[in-house]
Amino acid sequence: MSSTFDRERAAQEVASSWGAAGVPTPTLSVFDATMITVGIVIGAGIFETPSLVAGIAGSPTAMMAAWVLGGVLSLIGALTYAELATAYPSAGGDYTFLTRAYGKQVSFLFAWARSTVICTGSIALLGFILGDYLSRLHNLGAYSSAIYAATAVIVLTLINLVGLRSSSRMQNALTLLEITGVLVVAVAGMTLEPAPVAAAASSSEGEGAFGLAMVFVLLTFGGWNEAAYVSAEVRGGHRAVVRTLVISIGVITFAYLIFVGGVLHGLGFEQLKASRAIGVDVIERALGPIGGQLIGVAVAVAALTSMNSTMLVGARSNYSVAQDWQALRFMGRWQGERHAPVVGFIVQAAIALALIAFGALEKDGFATMVEFTAPVFWFFFMLSGIALLVLRRRDPQRPRPFRVPWYPVLPLIFVAMCAYLLYSSITYAQSQNASYVALAVMISGAVVLLAMHLRDLKGS
């Protein structure tokens, strides 16, 4: 890493602490940052994965243990990120950590992947979930889901361009509605007469089955790391960042355990395994047919909430990479009065719309986006965990307001978790066209990186 990078980043951090216009400033409360993080994580996935986990785990005890362990492992990851985010507070999040640990070339490939695959793919994926449920209420034709998804991207981008205060207020309201929807299903399940207990078939796959169940559980917990992208904008310093991460994981784990426990009580284990729409099944048992429409709205709100949260943090990646590469400076304009990287939002929306168009041409837009994003996401997530180990040795004099307890055991557990999910996502997507498209996108990032180096050589 060059000394120029250190000077630029130090200047940016000092300017941020002074509240200078044109750079990120502490604007968010712990509550705001928590709502953004929770809004990203508690998405529509919780309405789909419990039945898959139940079928794989083989027993109610193993299923509930998997969800508890998911919360514990997520907390371990959050503590690892808390040290990185408090030592290197920045709108760049993982980008900043990777730059300091491995240099600008690796972090550029991450930023490229995040802009073209990870964040934008997640936005498109959530858009298709939103579109699928809204299409049940009012179908717009053959491309109904894609039309709803594209409309949501455009509307949410415009709201975020108004400014961080407006978008964070909307995010707080949407996240509270999202949590309410999850809890309504849980309470409905708890109020039903317990379903008849049937003998559960034991899983013959043993630990391998439980490991596969953990893949789906951890995917449902994924996204809490996005809190690192607003670490420089949270009022209260390093303690506020740590509180944001820990409170977020606590809220998420509580909501998930209540939800899974509620649907298990209301449906019974065997029906839970067989269900393909657990929220609808529980609510219809409690409220009748109208419950199906209500849960459709709840899932749509969950998808919309996660879309907005992902947009908030994704645009900040575009802003950060633009600080270090002359050719990308057009994305590095931070509108101080709006507290937003305006061009970063516009670029992000354009890519997300292109991915929605790509997904609309495939058989299943949602599945395509999952296969497109998962391997790339877990690869760079693993590198961020390793970055903590690297920076402890490379940058020992750096003030660390928070240190992960039981170092290096907890970070190593986190890295192992990421490595396992990387392997699983590659195995799952091996025969899918989307994985090849993701690989092509990453290769194009390497080509762009080479082109920028050649340009710099010619200019020197």
pTM: 0.74
Q: Read off the amino acid at residue 394.
A: R
What are the pLDDT digits (tens) for 183-221? Answer: 888 888 888 877 665 444 444 444 456 777 887 888 788
Nearest alpha carbon to residue 261 among 407, 40, 33, 53: 53
Identify the three-state secondary structure at position 59: coil
For the segment 258-314, what is each residue's pLDDT rounded down to a tens digit?
999 998 988 888 888 887 667 777 887 887 777 767 777 777 777 787 787 778 777
- Give CA angle at 32 (30, 33), nearest 5°: 65
SS3 203: coil
pLDDT of 169 reads 67
pLDDT of residue 333: 61
Domains of the chain: 29-459 (1.20.1740.10)
pLDDT value at residue 218? 84
Torsions phi, psi of 199, nearest 5? -65, 120
Angle at 387 between CA 73 and CA 397, to 5 degrees: 115
Divide the 460 residues of the chain into consecutive groups of 10 and give the mean pLDDT of each group: 40 37 67 81 78 86 92 92 86 82 88 82 82 79 89 88 62 75 85 62 52 80 73 74 88 93 89 78 78 74 78 70 68 53 80 86 64 80 94 92 92 92 70 66 83 71
Q: What is the DSSP secondary structure assignment for residue 408, as one 8-state letter? A: T
pLDDT for 320-361, tens place per residue?
666 677 666 666 565 544 455 677 788 888 989 988 888 787
For residue 6, what are the contacts with CB-CB under 8 A and spacing of at least 6?
A: none
